[in-house]
Protein backbone atom coordinates (compact mmCIF):
# COMPACT_ATOMS: atom_id res chain seq x y z
CA UNK A 1 0.00 0.00 0.00
CA UNK A 2 1.24 3.50 -0.81
CA UNK A 3 0.08 6.97 0.21
CA UNK A 4 1.39 10.38 -0.91
CA UNK A 5 0.79 13.37 1.37
CA UNK A 6 1.35 16.99 0.42
CA UNK A 7 -0.49 18.83 3.19
CA UNK A 8 1.22 20.83 5.92
CA UNK A 9 0.81 18.22 8.65
CA UNK A 10 -1.34 15.36 9.90
CA UNK A 11 -3.13 15.47 13.25
CA UNK A 12 -3.54 11.73 13.80
CA UNK A 13 -2.25 8.42 12.46
CA UNK A 14 -5.70 7.05 11.58
CA UNK A 15 -4.66 7.23 7.92
CA UNK A 16 -2.13 4.49 8.71
CA UNK A 17 -4.67 1.96 10.04
CA UNK A 18 -4.37 -0.25 6.95
CA UNK A 19 -0.56 -0.10 6.89
CA UNK A 20 1.77 -2.66 8.47
CA UNK A 21 3.61 -0.42 10.96
CA UNK A 22 6.48 -2.91 11.23
CA UNK A 23 7.17 -2.58 7.50
CA UNK A 24 6.24 1.04 6.97
CA UNK A 25 8.72 3.36 5.24
CA UNK A 26 8.46 7.14 5.19
CA UNK A 27 10.38 9.24 2.70
CA UNK A 28 10.52 11.22 -0.52
CA UNK A 29 12.08 10.83 -3.98
CA UNK A 30 14.99 13.18 -4.70
CA UNK A 31 14.11 15.16 -7.82
CA UNK A 32 15.86 18.49 -7.36
CA UNK A 33 17.91 19.84 -4.44
CA UNK A 34 16.10 17.99 -1.61
CA UNK A 35 19.24 16.15 -0.48
CA UNK A 36 21.38 19.28 -0.48
CA UNK A 37 18.71 21.10 1.49
CA UNK A 38 19.32 18.81 4.49
CA UNK A 39 23.09 18.45 3.88
CA UNK A 40 22.98 14.90 2.49
CA UNK A 41 25.64 14.28 -0.17
CA UNK A 42 26.43 10.59 -0.63
CA UNK A 43 24.31 7.45 -0.49
CA UNK A 44 24.46 6.18 3.09
CA UNK A 45 24.75 9.68 4.62
CA UNK A 46 22.58 10.11 7.72
CA UNK A 47 21.77 13.47 9.25
CA UNK A 48 19.73 14.89 12.11
CA UNK A 49 17.90 17.77 10.36
CA UNK A 50 18.73 21.31 11.40
CA UNK A 51 16.29 22.97 13.80
CA UNK A 52 15.95 25.90 11.35
CA UNK A 53 13.22 24.26 9.24
CA UNK A 54 10.39 24.90 11.70
CA UNK A 55 8.90 24.18 15.14
CA UNK A 56 8.81 20.39 14.69
CA UNK A 57 12.41 20.32 13.43
CA UNK A 58 13.37 22.30 16.52
CA UNK A 59 11.64 19.81 18.82
CA UNK A 60 13.18 16.97 16.87
CA UNK A 61 16.72 18.31 17.32
CA UNK A 62 16.55 20.04 20.71
CA UNK A 63 13.46 18.82 22.56
CA UNK A 64 11.29 21.31 24.41
CA UNK A 65 10.02 22.19 27.88
CA UNK A 66 6.86 23.49 29.52
CA UNK A 67 5.94 24.88 32.93
CA UNK A 68 4.77 22.47 35.63
CA UNK A 69 2.08 24.60 37.30
CA UNK A 70 1.27 21.85 39.82
CA UNK A 71 4.43 22.79 41.73
CA UNK A 72 5.62 25.86 43.65
CA UNK A 73 7.57 28.54 41.82
CA UNK A 74 11.35 28.58 42.31
CA UNK A 75 14.24 30.87 41.50
CA UNK A 76 15.59 29.96 38.09
CA UNK A 77 18.06 31.32 35.59
CA UNK A 78 16.12 32.85 32.67
CA UNK A 79 18.58 34.92 30.67
CA UNK A 80 22.00 36.51 30.49
CA UNK A 81 22.43 40.11 29.41
CA UNK A 82 25.53 41.61 27.82
CA UNK A 83 26.50 45.22 28.43
CA UNK A 84 29.44 47.62 28.56
CA UNK A 85 30.29 48.45 32.22
CA UNK A 86 29.67 52.02 33.41
CA UNK A 87 28.34 52.94 29.96
CA UNK A 88 31.85 52.79 28.52
CA UNK A 89 31.45 51.60 24.93
CA UNK A 90 35.21 51.06 24.66
CA UNK A 91 35.25 48.54 27.50
CA UNK A 92 34.85 44.81 26.92
CA UNK A 93 31.30 43.53 27.30
CA UNK A 94 30.48 41.75 30.55
CA UNK A 95 27.72 39.27 31.28
CA UNK A 96 25.10 39.24 34.01
CA UNK A 97 22.84 36.26 34.72
CA UNK A 98 19.17 37.06 35.39
CA UNK A 99 17.16 34.91 37.82
CA UNK A 100 13.39 35.00 38.36
CA UNK A 101 10.64 33.15 40.24
CA UNK A 102 9.26 30.59 37.77
CA UNK A 103 7.36 27.34 37.72
CA UNK A 104 9.66 24.33 37.43
CA UNK A 105 10.20 23.10 33.89
CA UNK A 106 9.33 19.69 32.56
CA UNK A 107 11.96 18.80 29.98
CA UNK A 108 10.83 16.74 27.00
CA UNK A 109 13.74 15.06 25.15
CA UNK A 110 14.09 15.46 21.37
CA UNK A 111 12.54 12.89 19.03
CA UNK A 112 15.88 12.61 17.18
CA UNK A 113 14.40 11.39 13.89
CA UNK A 114 17.25 11.22 11.37
CA UNK A 115 17.15 11.16 7.57
CA UNK A 116 19.16 8.88 5.29
CA UNK A 117 20.05 9.21 1.60
CA UNK A 118 19.41 5.94 -0.28
CA UNK A 119 19.30 4.73 -3.89
CA UNK A 120 17.74 1.95 -5.95
CA UNK A 121 19.12 -0.30 -8.72
CA UNK A 122 18.43 2.44 -11.27
CA UNK A 123 20.56 4.92 -9.25
CA UNK A 124 17.49 7.00 -8.38
CA UNK A 125 17.87 8.78 -5.04
CA UNK A 126 15.48 8.80 -2.09
CA UNK A 127 15.47 10.29 1.39
CA UNK A 128 13.94 8.09 4.09
CA UNK A 129 13.38 8.66 7.79
CA UNK A 130 15.45 6.30 9.92
CA UNK A 131 12.71 4.44 11.81
CA UNK A 132 14.07 2.85 14.97
CA UNK A 133 11.74 0.73 17.11
CA UNK A 134 11.20 3.68 19.47
CA UNK A 135 10.22 5.96 16.59
CA UNK A 136 7.91 3.32 15.06
CA UNK A 137 6.23 2.81 18.43
CA UNK A 138 5.98 6.44 19.52
CA UNK A 139 6.81 9.01 16.84
CA UNK A 140 5.45 7.87 13.46
CA UNK A 141 3.22 10.95 13.25
CA UNK A 142 6.18 13.20 14.08
CA UNK A 143 8.32 11.50 11.39
CA UNK A 144 5.64 12.15 8.77
CA UNK A 145 5.18 15.76 9.88
CA UNK A 146 8.94 16.31 9.89
CA UNK A 147 9.15 15.42 6.19
CA UNK A 148 6.09 17.55 5.44
CA UNK A 149 7.62 20.51 7.28
CA UNK A 150 10.96 20.24 5.47
CA UNK A 151 9.92 19.13 1.97
CA UNK A 152 6.15 19.73 1.73
CA UNK A 153 5.61 16.12 0.67
CA UNK A 154 5.79 12.67 2.26
CA UNK A 155 5.47 9.21 0.70
CA UNK A 156 4.32 6.37 2.97
CA UNK A 157 4.51 2.70 1.95
CA UNK A 158 4.65 -0.75 3.51
CA UNK A 159 5.49 -2.47 0.24
CA UNK A 160 8.83 -4.10 -0.57
CA UNK A 161 10.77 -1.48 -2.51
CA UNK A 162 13.88 -1.52 -4.65
CA UNK A 163 15.99 0.63 -2.35
CA UNK A 164 19.38 -0.14 -0.84
CA UNK A 165 19.25 0.70 2.88
CA UNK A 166 23.00 0.33 3.11
CA UNK A 167 24.67 -0.66 6.34
CA UNK A 168 27.53 1.66 5.44
CA UNK A 169 26.22 4.83 7.02
CA UNK A 170 27.99 8.13 7.47
CA UNK A 171 26.65 10.38 10.22
CA UNK A 172 26.96 14.01 9.12
CA UNK A 173 26.44 15.88 12.39
CA UNK A 174 29.97 16.91 13.32
CA UNK A 175 32.77 18.79 11.58
CA UNK A 176 36.35 18.38 12.78
CA UNK A 177 38.00 21.79 12.82
CA UNK A 178 41.44 22.27 11.22
CA UNK A 179 44.38 22.42 13.67
CA UNK A 180 44.69 25.88 15.17
CA UNK A 181 41.07 26.96 14.55
CA UNK A 182 39.25 27.49 17.82
CA UNK A 183 35.56 26.61 18.23
CA UNK A 184 34.85 30.03 19.76
CA UNK A 185 36.20 31.75 16.61
CA UNK A 186 34.32 29.34 14.31
CA UNK A 187 30.99 29.92 16.08
CA UNK A 188 31.53 33.67 16.38
CA UNK A 189 32.00 33.86 12.61
CA UNK A 190 28.99 31.59 12.05
CA UNK A 191 26.68 33.74 14.20
CA UNK A 192 28.01 36.99 12.74
CA UNK A 193 27.58 35.77 9.16
CA UNK A 194 24.03 34.51 9.69
CA UNK A 195 21.62 37.39 10.24
CA UNK A 196 18.95 35.05 11.62
CA UNK A 197 21.35 33.96 14.39
CA UNK A 198 22.76 37.34 15.40
CA UNK A 199 20.20 37.94 18.16
CA UNK A 200 20.55 34.48 19.68
CA UNK A 201 21.67 34.35 23.31
CA UNK A 202 25.07 32.74 23.32
CA UNK A 203 28.16 32.96 25.51
CA UNK A 204 31.46 32.26 23.76
CA UNK A 205 33.26 32.56 27.11
CA UNK A 206 32.04 29.01 27.81
CA UNK A 207 34.06 27.73 24.87
CA UNK A 208 37.04 29.99 25.48
CA UNK A 209 37.39 28.67 29.04
CA UNK A 210 37.58 25.03 27.91
CA UNK A 211 39.96 26.06 25.12
CA UNK A 212 42.40 27.07 27.86
CA UNK A 213 42.83 23.38 28.77
CA UNK A 214 44.90 20.70 27.04
CA UNK A 215 42.44 19.18 24.60
CA UNK A 216 43.66 17.12 21.62
CA UNK A 217 41.06 18.02 19.00
CA UNK A 218 37.61 19.52 18.68
CA UNK A 219 34.51 19.15 16.55
CA UNK A 220 31.59 21.51 16.12
CA UNK A 221 28.04 20.33 15.65
CA UNK A 222 26.23 21.00 12.40
CA UNK A 223 22.66 20.46 11.24
CA UNK A 224 20.63 19.29 14.26
CA UNK A 225 23.69 19.53 16.52
CA UNK A 226 24.28 23.20 15.71
CA UNK A 227 25.76 25.12 18.66
CA UNK A 228 27.39 22.13 20.36
CA UNK A 229 31.15 21.61 20.58
CA UNK A 230 32.93 18.36 21.42
CA UNK A 231 36.34 18.86 23.05
CA UNK A 232 38.38 15.65 22.81
CA UNK A 233 40.85 15.08 25.65
CA UNK A 234 43.15 12.09 26.18
CA UNK A 235 40.56 10.03 28.07
CA UNK A 236 37.38 12.11 27.98
CA UNK A 237 35.09 14.08 25.70
CA UNK A 238 33.50 17.30 26.94
CA UNK A 239 30.26 18.48 25.31
CA UNK A 240 29.67 22.20 25.67
CA UNK A 241 27.07 24.50 24.14
CA UNK A 242 27.49 28.24 23.64
CA UNK A 243 23.75 28.91 23.78
CA UNK A 244 22.16 29.55 27.14
CA UNK A 245 20.19 26.93 29.01
CA UNK A 246 22.53 23.98 28.42
CA UNK A 247 24.85 22.14 30.82
CA UNK A 248 28.33 20.70 30.25
CA UNK A 249 28.43 16.91 29.86
CA UNK A 250 31.61 14.85 30.22
CA UNK A 251 31.74 11.30 28.83
CA UNK A 252 34.45 8.73 28.14
CA UNK A 253 36.40 9.53 24.96
CA UNK A 254 35.83 6.08 23.43
CA UNK A 255 32.85 6.10 21.04
CA UNK A 256 32.14 9.77 21.81
CA UNK A 257 30.51 10.36 18.42
CA UNK A 258 28.14 7.43 18.96
CA UNK A 259 27.30 8.77 22.43
CA UNK A 260 26.63 12.23 20.94
CA UNK A 261 23.63 10.78 19.06
CA UNK A 262 21.85 9.88 22.31
CA UNK A 263 19.64 12.17 24.34
CA UNK A 264 20.93 13.66 27.58
CA UNK A 265 18.40 11.55 29.46
CA UNK A 266 19.65 8.36 27.79
CA UNK A 267 23.26 9.22 28.63
CA UNK A 268 22.39 9.75 32.29
CA UNK A 269 20.13 6.67 32.61
CA UNK A 270 22.75 4.46 30.94
CA UNK A 271 25.47 5.75 33.26
CA UNK A 272 27.54 7.24 30.42
CA UNK A 273 27.87 10.70 31.99
CA UNK A 274 31.08 11.04 33.98
CA UNK A 275 30.07 14.52 35.17
CA UNK A 276 27.45 17.18 34.50
CA UNK A 277 28.19 20.84 35.23
CA UNK A 278 25.35 23.36 35.30
CA UNK A 279 26.16 26.91 34.18
CA UNK A 280 25.52 28.53 37.51
CA UNK A 281 27.40 31.41 39.11
CA UNK A 282 30.56 29.42 39.90
CA UNK A 283 30.49 26.95 37.01
CA UNK A 284 34.12 27.61 36.07
CA UNK A 285 35.32 26.65 39.54
CA UNK A 286 33.17 23.51 39.47
CA UNK A 287 34.51 22.51 36.07
CA UNK A 288 38.09 23.22 37.11
CA UNK A 289 37.69 20.91 40.13
CA UNK A 290 36.18 18.19 37.96
CA UNK A 291 38.99 18.52 35.41
CA UNK A 292 41.59 18.27 38.19
CA UNK A 293 39.93 15.05 39.41
CA UNK A 294 40.04 13.66 35.85
CA UNK A 295 43.66 14.66 35.29
CA UNK A 296 42.87 17.38 32.74
CA UNK A 297 45.39 20.21 32.92
CA UNK A 298 45.55 23.82 31.73
CA UNK A 299 47.29 24.67 28.48
CA UNK A 300 50.70 26.26 28.94
CA UNK A 301 51.03 29.44 26.91
CA UNK A 302 54.34 29.71 25.06
Q: What is the pLDDT of residue 127?
A: 94
Identify which of 255, 28, 42, 262 has the alpha carbon closest to the alpha carbon of residue 169.
Answer: 42
Whether 230 contacts 174, CB under 8 Å = yes
Low-confidence winner among 156-160, 191-195, 276-280 (lowest mean pLDDT): 191-195
Q: Is 198's pLDDT higher than 80?
A: no
Whether 109 contacts 264, CB under 8 Å = yes
Angle at 78 between CA 188 and CA 93, to 5 degrees: 40
Whether 110 contacts 61, CB under 8 Å = yes
Polymer length in residues for the chain: 302
Angle at 136 between CA 130 and CA 141, to 5 degrees: 90
133-189 per-position pLDDT tens digit: 889 999 999 999 999 999 999 999 887 766 655 545 555 566 655 556 677 777 777
DSSP letter (8 states) at residue 200:
S
Q: Is 223's pLDDT higher than 90?
A: no
Identify which of 124, 149, 134, 122 has the alpha carbon closest to the alpha carbon of residue 53.
Answer: 149
Close Cβ partners of 50 (under 8 Å, ≥ 6 residues apart): 38, 39, 57, 61, 222, 223, 224, 226
| pLDDT (mean) for 28-55 | 88
Q: What is the pLDDT of residue 238?
A: 93
| pLDDT (mean) for 268-283 | 84
Q: What is the pLDDT of residue 230?
A: 87
Q: What is the pLDDT of residue 167?
A: 46
Question: Rounded CA gap, 186 and 178, in Å?
Answer: 11
Question: Rounded CA gap, 203 and 118, in Å?
Answer: 38
Whether 28 contacts 40, CB under 8 Å = no
Query: Is residue 101 packed enough to be buried (19+ CB in 10 Å), middle (13-18) or exposed (0-12)?
Result: exposed
Close Cβ partners of 130 (under 8 Å, ≥ 6 residues apart): 46, 113, 114, 115, 116
Q: What is the pLDDT of residue 199?
A: 45
Q: Where are the domains of the chain?
A: 2-62+109-171, 64-108, 174-294
Question: Rounded CA gap, 277 and 290, in Å?
Answer: 9
**In the predicted model, what is the mean pLDDT of the chain?**
82
Whether 178 contacts 145, CB under 8 Å = no
82-120 per-position pLDDT tens digit: 788 887 888 887 877 788 899 988 888 888 898 999 988
Question: How many Å from the N-terminal Cα to the C-terminal Cα in the chain?
Answer: 67
Amino acid sequence: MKLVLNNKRINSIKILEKFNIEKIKIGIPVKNDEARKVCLTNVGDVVLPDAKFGPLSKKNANGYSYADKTKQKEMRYVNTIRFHPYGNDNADEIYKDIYRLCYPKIEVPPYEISLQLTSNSRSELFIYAVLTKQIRDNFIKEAINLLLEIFGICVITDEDIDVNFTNKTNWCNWVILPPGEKPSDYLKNFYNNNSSKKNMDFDLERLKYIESFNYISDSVGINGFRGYTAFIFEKYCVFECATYGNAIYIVERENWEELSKRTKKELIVEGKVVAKIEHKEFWKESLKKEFKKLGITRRVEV
